[in-house]
């Protein structure tokens, strides 16, 4: 369900940023596994869980959007296009996650190279992994926040109204 007030929206945003930080920590820990590709697979898996959960908390999962009134669905679809969001309100697939990771491609590539340098390399790789995951997650939170905020603002202006749950 969509948040009703900016205060509620701010609380959701703060909780989502906390989830992103936690998952970024897990991502940095995956660098320590000495098997090639495990850390990338872990990042994809973490994002496939994290981003839909963020959508859900903001009331923007595809399932939630399907339950809104037709005019609200149309309004959300138009906002998604207008704002150019990559994952808000979308059914997320491995391919979409890979596109999001390409945004931080240099960090991901550097992480793969430096992690095999003894001692310092793993520390640098863990920091790069944390930073890349944090960037992608926080960007998604910002997109969902802006989308939900615009919906709330339109509701207060007599715009669209999601159905009561």
Q: What is the DSSP string of 12-40?
A: HHHHHHHHHHHHHHHHHHHTTS-STTHHH
For residues 161 and 13, the answer to whether their CB atoms sit within 8 Å is no
Residue 1's SS3 state is: coil
* Predicted local confidence at residue 138, as pLDDT: 94
Distance in angstroms (rounded) separating the CA atoms of residues 18 and 6: 18
Q: Which has the closest alpha carbon to 15: 65, 59, 60, 57?
A: 57
Show the DSSP H helices in the chain as ranges.
6-30, 38-57, 62-66, 70-83, 94-102, 105-114, 120-156
* Predicted local confidence at residue 112, as pLDDT: 54
Reported as a single tens digit per residue, the pLDDT across 76-116 is 888 888 877 777 877 776 776 767 666 665 555 555 555 55
Residue carrying structure tokens 């596994």: 33
* Predicted local confidence at residue 117, as pLDDT: 66
Q: What is the pTM of this model?
A: 0.78
Distance in angstroms (rounded) separating the CA atoms of residues 71 and 153: 15
Phi-psi category of 164—alpha, beta or left, where left has phi over 0 and alpha has psi -120 to 50? beta
Residue carrying structure tokens 């793993």: 122
pLDDT at 131 over 70: yes
* Predicted local confidence at residue 53, as pLDDT: 95
């Amino acid at each position: 369900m969509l948040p009703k007030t900016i205060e509620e929206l701010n609380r959701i945003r703060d909780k989502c940023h906390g989830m992103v930080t936690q998952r970024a920590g897990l991502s940095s820990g995956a660098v320590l596994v000495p098997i090639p590709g495990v850390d990338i697979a872990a990042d994809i898996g973490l994002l496939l869980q994290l981003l839909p959960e963020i959508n859900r908390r903001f009331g923007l999962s595809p399932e939630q959007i399907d339950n809104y009134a037709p005019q609200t669905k149309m309004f959300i679809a138009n906002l998604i296009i207008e704002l150019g969001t990559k994952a808000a309100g979308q059914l997320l697939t491995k391919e979409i996650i890979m596109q999001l990771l390409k945004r931080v491609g240099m960090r991901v590539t550097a992480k793969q190279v430096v992690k095999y340098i003894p001692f310092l390399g793993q520390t640098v790789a863990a920091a790069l992994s944390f930073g890349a995951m944090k960037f992608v997650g926080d960007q998604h939170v910002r997109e969902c926040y802006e989308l939900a905020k615009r919906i709330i603002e339109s509701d207060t202006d007599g715009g669209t109204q999601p159905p009561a749950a």
